Amino acid sequence: MGGRRVVPDAGCFGAGMDETRIIERAGRRWLVRPAEAEPLLADGWPINDPGRLTPVKRGRRRTVCRLQAAGRGYYVKTFEPVGPLRRLRARLGMGPGRHEWDALLVARAAGLDVPEPVALALGAAEALVTREIAGGQRLDAYLFERYFEATPADPPYPGARPPELVAAFRRRRRPPEGTIDPPALAYNLAHLVARLAEADLYLPDLHPGNLLISGPPRQWHLSLVDLAEAVRPSPPEALLQHLVQLEHFFEPIAGASERLRCLVRLRELTPDAPSARDVARATAIYRQRFYLRRDRRTQRRSKYFRRIAAGSWRGWATADWAEAVTAFLGAGGGDDPLAGAQATTLKDGRTSTIWRVQLDDGRSLIVKRHNRAAERNAVPGLARPSRSLRALRRGHALLVRGIATARPAAAVDLRRHGTPADTLLLTEPVAGAQPLSDWLRAAPPAADRRHVVWELARMIRRMHETGLTHRDLKAPNILIAPAPASAPRPVLVDLDGLRLVRRVSARRRARDLMRLSVSLQEWGVARQTDRLRFLRTYLQRPGCPAPITVLSRRRGGADAARRLRRWWRHIARAGHRKRDTLRRKYGHLETA
């Protein structure tokens, strides 16, 4: 299926109509299940009273509200059809509300834990009423809260927090008593996927954000919600795609053994379950398309990003910074907002100037001006975004992929005749951070040094695996941020050299690693043990630690050891060539 969205047929479920009847309330026709709707009917049908509805979630085409009536909890999902075709489909009983109603009835008949459907408003403006699952919590929020410790560096996020951000900015901890443990969670997920296969149902959006966990300790069970896009009969790849969606979510926050446990249990329940290799391959394809869709968020207005304008400045900002940045740009009253601002110069270089600016609301931002913006963009300025806007998009592409970076707040341009005459990138400061080279020179504890090397290797490997390469990967562009009660973490900055490609080749990977190795050596902070530990972690193959020594002497003939030695020698030779080139060009290397 490879990410193709299957358009469900509203009549494919054949839900039993013998348990339902049609009533009319306040000029609207409702399809109800009498036994479930009786408390609402006795309470005067409070669904029509906006004062009793509490908004829970608002999307582009649907709004979810909670209703408390007759001592019970209900959820009212209102669908907003956009366009005459969608309105016509809803009037004909083929809208998303009717589709989800039928899917819930079929799922309950198949023994799946889903919310009890109560009523459905018929017509162009559909509304679905379901019973609240007592004690149910969203599985993703449940796991993030109990298994991960939040930190001040955790960036805000307007929607459901992605697991990549949790892995990058939070530290895993031992959960409190009564929390579902990984084996029990894997067991429950395997049974859920098996029951979906038995029911011949496919959910294109099966992830922990659409799962509720409830029940007392040792009696947990998972419930499905949001079946608006359910498909029946399911396509042949349904079982594989269910596993792919779960693997994509859990890969950043769970170990390989924890994820394999679910697949092993599923193979006991369903002999047709795919192999781990097939799941890994399909997940790589799904992940690439998923991240590309997430990258497009920076190109349209939404709850995540907004267009901003102040005077002659135009640009984009994250939703939580839009008002503050607009006020900052307008406070200068001219083309230079830094003229009257409380700004401290951090860097005054040949290609860029960086300030730390204190805003009126008490927060601070790092402002980067690209010098000679007009000369650099004179020809392509009309055809492509400015350097600042590209940096903003690249920064959020890193965050979406779970790679720590200084979070971009806004990117604005001052254009003359269509080309950027000035451009600013505004990012959040990384509290207490210092360049990797300075941090290593300060002789940190051995445990912190090992942890930073491991985290840096994992970060760059993740960057390469998700289609990103950096042609300016060097020690000054990596900050080490302290973390309270935990080890420090690396943060990638200066994203002008970041490139998004379809697949990062082995040659590009080696080139990035070579640049970092040369930079660390010339700053005088690299140890051979650090470089070897970094490469072992980056390659992530079993058998590497034993067969290889720091001096690259051979001990045995394991494939992993040969691979490690091959990469080690290739990077060393490329590093020698790079250093010779820089010496001929500059005479010394630190200016490079």
**Do 271 and 155 share a structural domain?**
yes
Closest C-alpha to 268, from 208, 186, 205: 186
Tell whether 122 and 185 lie within a shared domain: no
Residues 362 and 388 in one domain: yes
Domain boundary pick from 74, 99, 131: 131
Write out the residue range of the structural domain in which residue 223 sits.
137-297
Spell out the alpha helix ranges (H) of 28-75.
34-42
Token representation of residue 165: 């951000």
- The amino acid that residue 460 corresponds to is I
pLDDT value at position 352? 85
Query: Cβ–Cβ contacts within 10 Å for residue 236, how many?
Result: 10
Q: Is residue 2 part of a domain?
A: no
Domain count, the chain: 4
Is 4 a domain residue? no
Q: Is residue 496 part of a domain?
A: yes
Beta-carbon contacts of residue 349 (< 8 Å; ≥ 6 apart):
371
Residues in the chain: 592
* Residue written as token pair 């907003």: 80
| Positions in the chain whose pLDDT score sits under 50 | 1-11, 15-18, 374-375, 377-380, 541-556, 590-592
Question: What pLDDT is stored for residue 153 in this prediction?
Answer: 76
Residues 256, 144 share a domain = yes
399 and 441 belong to one structural domain: no
The alpha carbons of the chain give a radius of gyration, in whole angstroms, of: 28
Return the CATH number at 469: 1.10.510.10
Q: Are 147 and 284 contained in the same domain?
A: yes
Residue 514, in any domain of the structure: yes
Q: Domain end: 297, 320, 347, which one?
A: 297
Residue 12 lies in a domain: no
- Alpha carbons 525 and 356: distance in angstroms, whole number: 28
Indicate if 110 and 257 belong to the same structural domain.
Answer: no
Q: Are residues 538 and 577 in the same domain?
A: yes
| 318 and 325 Cβ atoms separated by less than 8 Å | no
Residues 158 and 42 in one domain: no
Residue 113 sits in the same domain as residue 255: no
Distance between CA atoms of residues 202 and 79, nearest Å? 22
Using CA atoms, how far residue 205 sits from 200, 202, 302, 544, in Å, is: 16, 9, 20, 38
Q: Which residues pair with 171 in a beta bridge?
A: 149
- What's the rounded Cα separation, in Å, for the pair 165 and 363? 22
Q: Are residues 384 and 476 in the same domain?
A: no
- End-of-domain residue from the set 106, 131, 156: 131
pTM score above 0.75: yes
Domain holding 93: CATH number? 3.30.200
291 and 171 share one domain: yes
Q: Determine the Cα–Cα distance for residues 448 and 76; give it in Å rounded to an integer.
A: 50
- Residue 14: inside a domain: no
Residue 10 lies in a domain: no
Contact partners, residue 589, CB within 8 Å, separation at least 6: 518, 522, 579, 582, 583
Q: Residue 268: inside a domain, yes or no?
A: yes
